[in-house]
Amino acid sequence: MSVRIFCDFDGTMTVTDNILMIMEHYNPPNWRSIVEDMMRGTRSIRDGVGSLFSLIPSALREDIVRTVMDKATLRPGVLGLLTHAHACGVPFYVVSGGIDFFIRPILAHIPPSYFAGVYCNSASFDPPTITITWPHPCGDACTDDCGMCKTTVMRHVPFAHTTIVIGDSITDYNAAKQADIVFARAHLYRHCLAHGVPCIAYETFYDIMDTLVHDARTRDAFTLHRLGGRS
Ligand code: MG
Ligand code: ZN
């Protein structure tokens, strides 16, 4: 049975959330109340993320990339799962509300062929401040004004019998509801629990790999079948 993986980036593939880290580092006026509005749901994610970056001067682009590269760490086991999924032919999609100018440098040392797709936001650096552009907006079936709409991406990429979602935050919840298997930590874990959405807790991607190679729904897809070799 075919399997596909949709994986969040900030706080999931990386240990911490890079947008929050950038805001904490540059500390533009009023950013915390924008984040609070997003978490409370009184401001859409698109509105909130767009507003946050509009507080940051475009000229800081290179400085931001350096800061992110200094501070961001991949979660243990990420490379192992990517390598194994690639070897088994299981498509791995990154679905992120983050921005390509800091995501691409963090992923630069991983072979691009390991990703079936990297879906995230983009930015324009025309002065004076950063403008987020939204190449993957909500389709007709979503009214949440996500900015980067994870469920719309899931509907548009090739189908598989088993869909896996890996995430850490409330922004992964709609994707989680459409998954067959959810790996959740932090806010996403508590939210799934509170709303009766089945999920599996993880801390590292080694935990996820361990489940996938043993779970009856996925173990065949995650077994490397040696071709030939009979002599
Ligand atoms: Mg996240
Ligand atoms: Zn949406």
Q: b vs e for 37-69, b when ≥16 Cβ sit within 10 Å of the residue's Cβ? A: ebeeeebbbbebbbbbbebbeeebeeebeebbe
User: CB of 40 within 8 A of CB of 47?
Assistant: no
Strand order of the β-sheet with 92-99 is 131-133, 117-124, 92-99, 3-7, 162-167, 181-184, 200-201
Question: Which CATH number is 219's domain given?
Answer: 3.40.50.1000
For residue 8, give the ligand nearest its CA: 1
Instruction: Tell me the ligand closest to 151's alpha carbon.
Output: 2
Q: Where are the beta strands (DSSP E) in 13-112?
A: 92-99
Is residue 103 a part of any domain in this protein?
yes
Q: Is residue 31 part of a domain?
A: no
CA of 45 to the centre of ligand 1 (A): 12
Spell out the alpha helix ranges (H) of 89-149: 100-107
| Ligand 1 center from residue 219 Cα (angstroms) | 26
Does 127 fall in a domain?
no
Asked whether residue 42 is assigned to any structural domain, the reply reads no
The reply to whether 186 falls in a domain is yes
Q: Are 96 and 12 in contact (CB under 8 A)?
A: no
Tell me the residue range of the domain where 179 lies. Answer: 3-16+73-121+133-225
Q: Quick check: 163 and 4 in contact, CB under 8 A?
A: yes
* pLDDT value at residue 230: 47
Q: Distance from the CA of 191 to the center of ligand 1, in angstroms?
A: 14
The pLDDT of residue 228: 52
Among all bound ligands, the one having the nearest atom to the CA of 17 is: 1
Q: Which of 118, 114, 126 is nearest to 148 (CA)?
A: 118
Q: Is residue 128 part of a domain?
A: no
| Phi, psi torsion values for 212, nearest 5 degrees | -65, -35
Strands 131-133 and 117-124: antiparallel
Could you tell me the distance, in angstroms and rounded to a whole number, from the CA of residue 150 to the centre of ligand 2? Answer: 7
CA 142 / ligand 2 centre spacing (Å): 5
Q: Which ligand is the nearest neighbour of the Cα of 143?
A: 2
Residuewise pLDDT in 10s, the chain (231 residues): 899 999 999 999 999 999 999 999 999 999 999 999 998 899 999 999 999 999 999 999 999 999 999 999 999 999 999 999 999 999 999 999 999 999 999 999 999 999 999 999 999 999 999 999 999 999 999 999 999 999 999 999 999 999 999 999 999 999 999 999 999 999 999 999 999 999 999 999 999 999 999 999 999 999 987 665 444
Identity of residue 219: R
| Cβ count near 221 (within 10 Å) | 21
Res 1: pLDDT? 84
Q: For the chain, how far is it from start to end, CA to CA, in angstroms?
A: 29
Residues with CB under 5 A from ligand 2 (ion): 138, 142, 144, 146, 149
Q: How many angstroms is it from 173 CA to the middle of ligand 1?
A: 10
Please tell me the number of the ligand nearest to residue 166's CA: 1
CB-CB contact of 112 with 41 (8 Å): no
Coil, strand or helix at 123: strand
Domain count, the chain: 1
Q: Which residues surround ligand 1, an ion (CB under 5 A)?
A: 8, 10-12, 168-169
Q: What's the 20 CA to ligand 1 centre distance in angstroms?
A: 10
159 Cβ contact partners less than 8 Å away, ≥ 6 residues apart: 2
